[in-house]
Each structure stands twice: as structure tokens, then as C-alpha cells.
Amino acid sequence: MFYISSWQDGWMVWGVAAGILMFFASLQAVHFFRSRGYETFLFIHIILAAVIVPAIYFHVKVQIKGIQYVYAMMAIWAFDYLARFLRIIVSGITSKADVRVVSGDILEFKIAYSRWWKYYPGSYAFIHILLPLQNSWQSHPFSLVSSPLKEDEGKVIIFARIKEGITKSMSEYILRQPSNMLRTIPVLLDGPYGDRHHLHHYNTLILVAGGIGITGVYPYAAELVKSPERKQNILFIWTTSDDSFSQWFGDYIAHLTSDERIQQHIYLTSERHEHEEQDVPTQFFSIEKGERPGKTTPSTPEIEYQLGPTSFGPANGLSRKSSVISASLSLVEHRGNTWVHERATRNHSRPDLKDLVANEISKARGSLAFVVCGPGPLNDVMRCSVADNIQSANARIDYYEEAFCW
């Protein structure tokens, strides 16, 4: 009887309603549903939260039991939104972004902001796009990168892979413009967030990126270029589907080639690249020592790199088929979708990451850190490989992972 009569009281109705809504909010937040329609998820989740909070309040206010927890919840929620609002103000409410489609599936944002906060490796920010039909009330997180180009000084750069939702609608908007290339739009920047890994203490860094995950590890290599006094070696490995990366990240890779402490291996993993014959123009093949630039040798020799106490090369499970130019240290060739350099190789294969990890750990004589950012399978392989080989290490080994999931 008590149960039946209690339904006549508002507190019971509000409590049941809050419980049911919280169940649906939790179910909707499962990654399977969230990843298939993030904008829809976010909109519904905010509406549910806006109803759940007052429902809980009306449920407990009658008996005054637990009301302090409701006030605490409201205070935390309000503080979160206030802090985000203040971050947006600090970043500049008049921020502008130059947006363009830099390849078939990549958007680039060059954002001029207030500069009241300083970009750092590992940082990311939420961006509001202030355009009609672009859901300006929503914000989306993206990793931040600093451009090596002088004309971009004082700006933060975002690269976003075009998928569904905001990136797709934004790319369609850009491509509809008369110029079809570049558009300056108002934005709001909420950031920076993210932890900075303190990697300067390690003797060697192994940076491994997959696809757009390059934005998560590149800043650590670029930071080394700015610190010539640091005695550190970096092996930089990037797996990407094809060589269109030179259209949007070529200048960044070229920037790293200026530092002899950094070795780069780029792997083109699509089937078209894995099975094609070597099709690089002859000027991109190795130029032997003593030969003048322009005189080419039609071969792709096995390459062994020596960087202080650490050697990087095919023996480490890295190179199967590569195209390299060994001319001046400062020379970078851009030809079509191809770039090559003495300290950067383009490989038409998939890297043997398990072999790489085992070899690097076994020969390490100083501290070693792995920093990984890529799709789930790549992260899983790297994490498991480090765990399998860490017992054989002769020095300190650490593993850092940046994962694009939330």
C-alpha cells in the first residue's frame, strides 16, 4: 500500500523519472552508439542532463535528505561551464580561422587567437565554428600543432580528418565557395587541455603515429628541433594510407629533416602502394657520395643510419622498399605527391612494429620512451610489444599513448 500511495507524491514520480532518464543517458553514452552519431548523442545527452538534474532536486527536496549532494552536483556542473566560458574569453572572442581542404580527406584550420596562453606539445582544444547551419553551440576537440612556417607564427594549427558530422559539413561548405580553397571564419577556442609528457630526460625517443595521429606525436619531435643543446635521438615512424600527406604535412616533415638527431620513416600502407613497382622519378633515388646532384643512380639501396649510440635501419625491421635522396642535408625535394630527403624515407610497405620494439629495447643502453598515437589496432600492437619485451631491457623503458577516443 505504501508503494501505491507514494505515487501520489511528487517526489516518487520525480525519482523514478530521474532513474529512467539516467539509464537511457548511460546507455546512449556507450561508445558503440556515441561514435556513430556524435552530434546527435551530444544534443540528446545535454537535454537529458538538463532534465535529470531538476528531477533529482524535486525528488529529494521534500524530505531534505541528500539535498546537499544535489547542490554539489549543480555547483560542479556550473563551474565546468563557467571555466569553459572563461577559457573561451581568454582565447579571444574575435578569433578567426583560415580553413581549407588540403587533400581529399583533410581539413586544415589556421587559428589566430589572443595568444594569452601558450601552445605546448600534447595540447588540444575544443573549437566552436560560428557559422549558420554548423551547430555553433557544439564544440569538438582537436589536437593542436605549431606550424614551422614564419607566416603562421602566433597561430595554432588543427588538422582534422573529414568524416561525418561537423568535418563533413565544413568541407562541403568550403568546397561550395567561389575560391573552392580557403575561407576565413569566426571561431571560439576552448583550451588548451591535455597533459604534456616530459620526454627531455630520455636518451632515445621512438615516436610512432598512424594516420591523423601524426598530430599527437609530431609536436614532441618539433620541440627537439628548438632545443639544440639536448643530446637526444628520435626515431619517427608514420604509417599513412598514401602519399597525399605531402600536400598538407610536407612542410612539417621537411622541418624535422633540419635536425640530424631525428630519423623519419614514412610508410604508405594502401594496397596500391604495397604492390606497385618503384615509380619514383630517378632524381629521387640515392645520390652516392662524391656524385654531383643531378647525376642519379637507379637503385634503392638498403640504408643504415647511425645517430650517436643508436642505429636505425633495415636491421630493426623498418625498411623493405624505400625511396631516398642523399644530396645536401638541407635539400628537400617536392615532386607531385612525393618528398624525399637524406634523413627521411618513404616506404611502400607496412612496418614490422613487433620487430622494431624488440630490437630497440634489446640494444638500448640509455633510457628509452615510446610515444604512440594512432588507431586502436596500432596502439594495441605497440603496447603489447613493449610489455612483451620490457623484461629484457637493460635500461629504463616507458610507454606513452595518445588515443583519439572519448
DSSP assignment string, 344-373: EEEESS---HHHHHHHHHHH--S-EEEEEE
The pTM is what?
0.74
Q: What mean pLDDT comes out for the span 66-81? A: 88
Q: Are residues 111 and 230 in the same domain?
A: no
Cα angle: 183, vertex 251, 295; to 5 degrees? 135
pLDDT higher than 80, residue 37: no
- Chain segment 282-294, per-residue pLDDT in tens: 222 222 223 323 3
pLDDT band at 7 (very low <50, low <70, confident <90, very high): low
Q: What mean pLDDT comes out for the span 46-52? A: 90
Compute the Cα dihedral for 129, 110, 84, 372 and give only its sign.
Answer: positive
**Any domain includes 199:** no
**Any domain includes 60:** yes
Q: Are residues 65 and 102 in the same domain?
A: no
Other Cβ atoms less than 10 A from the Cβ of 246: the count is 21
Q: Are residues 312 and 275 in the same domain?
A: yes
pLDDT for residue 231: 85
**Any domain includes 320:** yes
Rounded CA separation 244/229 (Å): 34
CATH number for the domain that contains residue 226 = 3.40.50.80
**Any domain includes 3:** no
Q: Are residues 158 and 177 in the same domain?
A: yes
- Chain segment 139-182, per-residue pLDDT in tens: 888 999 999 998 998 899 999 888 877 888 888 888 887 765 77
pLDDT for residue 317: 40
pLDDT band at 404 (very low <50, low <70, confident <90, very high): low
**Any domain includes 198:** no
pLDDT band at 202 (very low <50, low <70, confident <90, very high): very high
Q: Are residues 280 and 328 in the same domain?
A: yes
**Any domain includes 114:** yes
Q: Are residues 208 and 239 in the same domain?
A: yes
- Average pLDDT for the chain: 77
Q: Cell 559539413 identifies what position?
A: 169
Rounded CA separation 236/258 (Å): 14
Other Cβ atoms less than 10 A from the Cβ of 365: the count is 11
- Chain segment 121-131, per-residue pLDDT in tens: 999 999 988 88
**Any domain includes 144:** yes
Task: Work out the end-to-end distance of the chain between its first and last CA atoms, rounded to an integer number of angstroms.
Answer: 46
pLDDT higher than 60, residue 228: yes
Phi/psi at 376 (5° precision): -50, -50
Q: How many domains does the chain have?
A: 3
Q: Which domain holds residue 322?
A: 204-402
Residue where one domain finishes, among candidates 132, 158, 193: 193
pLDDT higher than 60, residue 394: yes
pLDDT band at 3 (very low <50, low <70, confident <90, very high): low
Q: Are residues 219 and 326 in the same domain?
A: yes
Q: Are residues 39 and 151 in the same domain?
A: no
Residue where one domain finishes, among candidates 164, 193, 222: 193
Residue where one domain finishes, among candidates 90, 115, 140: 90
Q: Are residues 236 and 315 in the same domain?
A: yes
Distance of CA 249 to the CA centre of its chain: 13
Q: Are residues 121 and 254 in the same domain?
A: no
Buried/exposed code over 154-193 (b: 16+ C-beta within 10 A; e: otherwise): ebbbbbbebeebbbebbbebbeeeeeeeebebebbbbbbe
Q: Are residues 168 and 291 in the same domain?
A: no
Q: Look at residues 159, 341, 156 and name the one whose alpha carbon lies nearest to residue 256.
A: 341
pLDDT band at 372 (very low <50, low <70, confident <90, very high): very high
Q: Are residues 213 and 127 in the same domain?
A: no
